[in-house]
Amino acid sequence: MKVYNTLSRKKEEFKPLEEGKVKMYVCGPTVYNFIHIGNARPMIVFDTVRRYMEYKGYEVNFVSNFTDVDDKIIKKAMEEGVSSQEISSRYIEECKKDMAGLNVKPATRHPLATQEIDGMLEMISTLIEKGFAYVVKDGTVYFRTRKFEEYGKLSHKNLDDLQAGHRDIKVTGEDKEDALDFVLWKPRKEGEPYWESPWCQGRPGWHIECSVMAKKYLGEEIDIHAGGEDLIFPHHENEIAQSEACNGKIFSKYWLHNGFLNIDNKKMSKSLGNFFTVREISEKYDLQVLRFFMLSAHYRSPLNFSAELMEAAQNGLERIVNAAKNLRHLQKNAKRALMTEEEAGIFKSSDEFTEKFEAAMEDDFNTADAIASVFELVKYSNTKVNEESSGELAERLNKRLEQLCDILGIILEREEELLDEEIERLIAERQAARKDRNYSRADEIREILLNKGIVLEDTREGVKWKRA
């Protein structure tokens, strides 16, 4: 299996640190609002990488955090007049609903930054003791970037070039030794959440959070660290500096980064009005379509999102789903149960599609080519199986199709759709549960409905529902 390593800028043979096991860390979202489709791309991509690793027999310890303390969360909390914890808790739950809709498997661990403060204080203290960090008079702790000699090895940025970019920046109100030094701990501001530390009442810098969570749940050395390419610098570069300065070991063996997502060939931004949340997309499309669309290009390539491309993805996905449905129908209604010798040969010939699929995934997780092999299997099944075929041939080809689609996280058989009266009954039960303050049951019902493609919206006029 070959993976493209951002660190070396080339494809390398994947060899785990420990035989049969993979330790993988993926940077998760900052939870201050509904996740947008840009957040969804790394979730889908690296969930698929994990699924393929598991298909190949690896035991994958997959850790993906939630950043639940951040300037944006604090700003949102102040706007709403609630606590930061209320904002982060709310949007963690909403994020999990969207992830379920995208069929992203829950991580082995989803650590929260605010629950790992002790580990951050410990790592910062170690960095200070080793001379890699220093405290200034207001209690801010900075990392000495130049002391870490390999700084820039991931982003391939030169420190002197970075320094030149800072020449016009006046560092006022700070006692930084160097403009390139970054924050490990910062003092509280009025109204902000804070924690006690040996240096001041304050909160951690963003970069230290992931270093600590990766170390706690995966160890000092990990196999794969992944995220969007926008995180290469400074976030992942700073993670490497902190972790390797603290632990004295290579932090991550392989670094994987997905390409940017553009909207109609433009960068997504609220000011341009082309900003879409996953929840908004779910109102127009089944989220399986969004997942299929995201995997239709190589993960390192820039991906352009448009209504036309989503329609194409929907049509492509329907072809695969319909083929599976047809195979199930032919299996159920077959005149013969067992395969003939000729049919055994037909099934054996379908091995080539699995082989093509695996070859594509072994080559740096080329999901675009993997999907092409799925379409080849669909075409083959459509031409080789009919009303005269055995149930066994239909069943085995369908299982092969399901296995490949499961690696991609594509669901071929949904639970039967709920009738309108069943939906209304569940909504009434949910309302009664909320009235009785049985919030766990209310959430459970919402989850049941969401899994069956029913999206609820609590409005002033009552609960409204629609099919995703």
**Residue pair 312/271 in contact by the 8 Å Cβ criterion:** no
Going from the C-alpha of 289 to that of each of 63, 101, 402, the distances in angstroms are 26, 11, 16
Q: For residues 194 and 200, what is the distance between their CA atoms, to the nearest angstrom?
A: 9
Alpha helices in 187-299 (DSSP H): 206-218, 237-247, 278-282, 287-294
| 356 CB-near residues (< 8 Å, 6+ apart) | 369, 372, 373, 376
Q: For residues 40 and 405, what is the distance between their CA atoms, to the nearest angstrom?
A: 19
**Residue pair 337/327 in contact by the 8 Å Cβ criterion:** no
Which residues is 225 bridged to in the sheet?
A: 25, 255
Strand arrangement of the beta sheet that strand 133-135 belongs to: 133-135, 141-143, 182-187, 202-204
Predicted model pTM? 0.88
Among 55, 130, 65, 128, residue whose Cα is nearest residue 95: 65
Question: pLDDT tens track of the chain, all 468 residues?
Answer: 999 999 999 999 999 999 999 999 999 999 999 999 999 999 999 999 999 999 999 999 999 999 999 999 999 999 999 999 999 999 999 999 999 999 999 999 999 999 999 999 999 999 999 999 999 999 999 999 999 999 999 999 988 888 766 544 444 446 899 999 999 999 999 989 999 999 999 999 999 999 999 999 999 999 999 999 999 999 999 999 999 999 999 999 999 999 999 998 888 877 787 889 999 999 999 999 999 999 999 999 999 999 999 999 999 999 999 999 999 999 999 999 999 999 999 999 999 999 999 999 999 999 999 999 999 999 999 999 999 999 999 999 999 999 999 999 999 986 555 667 778 888 889 989 888 888 888 888 888 888 777 888 887 778 888 776
